[in-house]
Amino acid sequence: MSRNAESTAFRSALEVIRAVEPRVADAIGAELADQRESLKLIASENYASPATLLTMGNWFSDKYAEGTVGRRFYAGCQNVDTVEALAAEHAKELFGASHAYVQPHSGIDANLVAFWAVLADRVESPALKKAQVRQVNDLTEADWFALRRELGNQRMLGMSLDAGGHLTHGFRPNISGKMFDQRSYGTDPATGLIDYDRVAEAAREFKPLILVAGYSAYPRKVNFRIMREIADSVGATFMVDMAHFAGLVAGKVFTGDFDPVPHAHIVTTTTHKSLRGPRGGMVLCGPELADQVDRGCPMVLGGPLPHVMAAKAVALAEARRPDFADYAQRIVDNAQALAEGLLRRGTTLVTGGTDNHLVLLDVSGHGLTGRQAEQALLDSGIVTNRNAVPQDRNGAWYTSGIRIGTPALTTRGLGTAEMDATAELIHTVLSQTTPGANADGTPSKAKYVLDPAVADSVAKQATDLLAGFPLYPTVTLD
């Protein structure tokens, strides 16, 4: 393929869009410029390949395809069948799973599909059995009432939010918190690590239907073999949400006890984080849950997005190439270099380091809230997000933490030397920022003071650092 093909494709697409709504074309161009200029350290973001991006812009978007491969509720789905089957095949090969369901539109959707599958598989209920055999129209009011009571009365044990768990693991702002009676396991206050004995104790007391492992802000590996033993000891279904670290599983950085697929009954993921695919979700499971998982649409999902399933097939094919394993290892090497650089400069890190793709800074030692630190870093060209730390005294809105991750910068090609330079830039901003005050003189958790000259200087250094690692180097828009 000629080096020009990607530029030509994106330029042509923008020309076509510009003829209809030039402001959209401009915004797309501006987004590329912004992404090129900023030091992106958001742990859940990445840069999908041009092939993956281009696969999403076509007439697959026009097609309805409810149902599953070969069994659709619409005619004319033969080409959708081709791409959905390909995506599932790549996923199964890549992760060593016996079944893959690639229709979920997001991680929340993937988790809902998994919850439904487990409930349908595990909950004994005549009303539910009717629903399962597609007799939903025959359900009486009393059936619906019984169904709501029986399904909504189940127990889920997952990681607490401030220890790094995710909203969709039974917390109130998400429907899972209404579907399940939730209890959480935290981390050891001294080490910040999961204490498996405490998880086992909580499981014995609470007897969950589902034990969930997985996180969005825990900077360490999880031993899924031990978690499965805990689940088995109380008869729970063991579910892993690997959205954040799917790329590290795909790239064989997480193997043995740390690979969730051989240990969990069901695994969910997004496809756009460390896995570097299109924005979407996916469910992997064994044969026992496959039929229920495949009912995800229309049970909890709207019509599948064939253009995104096609892009999943492309991205998963990329992840099966040998160089993806090298990429996954570099993500972790970079996170560890970044952690070491920050520790050396005196920043406090939750758990004292990392063995995955993310680092969680506790910025309270700098006298700042996460919100103040996030904004000061953003002013300085460094994009991060604030995040709670264990037992956070500032709550989930202001927080005391900053979460950073390396999948995106690693895709750009930055290595361990640049991570040390990045640590220096972060340290400069955090040590030069002070908390601000409200108009009445009381301390503010949002306002901060940072000399604009310092912010400008850091932003310039960030741009210089990135100049050696162009984003989408094969794409020029002018």
Please report, as residue ranges, which positions from 164 to 183 form the binding site for ligand DSN (by CB under 6 A).
Answer: none
> Binding of ligand DSN at residue 370 (CB under 6 A)?
no
Of the two residues 165 and 306, which places its CB atom closer to ligand DSN in the complex?
A: 165
Catalytic residue among 273, 312, 330, 403: 273
Verify whether residue 241 is a known catalytic residue.
yes
The angle, 0 to 180 degrees and rounded to 10, between the axes of the packed helices 322-344 and 416-432 is 40
Contact 306, 66 (CB under 8 A): no
The smaller minimum CB distance to ligand DSN, of residues 203 and 240, is found at 240
The residue at minimum Cβ distance from ligand DSN is 44
Using DSSP's 3-state secondary structure scheme, residue 25 falls into helix
The span from the CA of 340 to the CA of 257, in Å, is 25
Q: Which is nearer to ligand DSN, 107 or 407 (CB)?
A: 107
The distance of closest approach from Cβ of residue 466 to ligand DSN in the complex, given in angstroms and rounded to an integer, is 22
Nearer to ligand DSN among residue 385 and residue 432 (C-beta):
385
Binding of residue 406 to ligand DSN (CB under 6 A): no
Instruction: Using the minimum distance from each CB to ligand DSN, give the nearer residue, 144 or 397.
Output: 397
394 φ/ψ angles, rounded to the nearest 5 degrees: -100, 5
Strands 180-185 and 210-214: unpaired
Q: Are 408 and 45 in contact (CB under 8 A)?
A: yes
Cβ nearer to ligand DSN, comparing 44 with 334: 44
Tell me whether strands 67-68 and 71-72 are parallel, antiparallel or unpaired. Answer: antiparallel
Out of 121, 162, 241, 418, which one is annotated catalytic?
Answer: 241
- Alpha-carbon distance of 157 to 87, in angstroms, equals 31
Please report how close the Cβ of residue 107 comes to ligand DSN at its closest, in angstroms.
5
Q: Which residues pair with 434 in a beta bridge?
A: 449
* Closest-CA residue to 128 (of 146, 109, 152, 154): 146
Q: Is 380 in the site for ligand DSN (CB under 6 A)?
A: no
Would you count residue 405 as binding ligand DSN (CB under 6 A)? no
- Give yes or no: 295 in active site: no
Q: How far is the CB of 251 from ligand DSN (least distance, A)?
A: 19
Contact with ligand DSN (CB under 6 A) among 107, 158, 214, 306: 107
282 membership: H or E segment, kind and range: strand 281-285
**273 catalytic per annotation:** yes
* Least distance (Å) between residue 217 CB and ligand DSN: 7
Does 111 bind ligand DSN (CB under 6 A)? Our answer is no
Cis amide leading into 298 (omega within 30): yes
Is 216 a binding residue for ligand DSN by CB under 6 A? The answer is: yes
Is residue 307 a contact partner of residue 315, using CB atoms and an 8 Å limit?
Answer: no
What angle (nearest 5°) sits at the alpha carbon of residue 417, between those of residues 414 and 419? 65
Residue tagged active-site, from 68, 268, 270, 347: 270
Please name the residues in contact with 456: beta carbons below 8 A apart, sequence gap of 6 or more: none
**Nearest 5°: CA angle at 145, between 144 and 146?**
90
Q: How far is the CB of 146 from ligand DSN (least distance, A)?
A: 33
Euclidean distance between CA atoms 353 and 364, whole angstroms: 17
Of the candidate residues 10, 17, 41, 44, the single one contacting ligand DSN (CB under 6 A): 44
Does residue 274 belong to the site contacting ligand DSN (CB under 6 A)?
no
Exactly one of 11, 18, 92, 279 is catalytic; name it.
Answer: 279
Q: Least distance in Å: CB of 44 to ligand DSN?
A: 3
Q: Which is nearer to ligand DSN, 186 or 407 (CB)?
A: 407
Its sign, for the CA torsion 406, 412, 415, 421, is negative
Residues of the shown chain interacting with ligand DSN in the complex, contacts defined by CB under 6 A: 44, 107, 216
- Residues tagged active-site: 64, 66, 241, 270, 273, 279
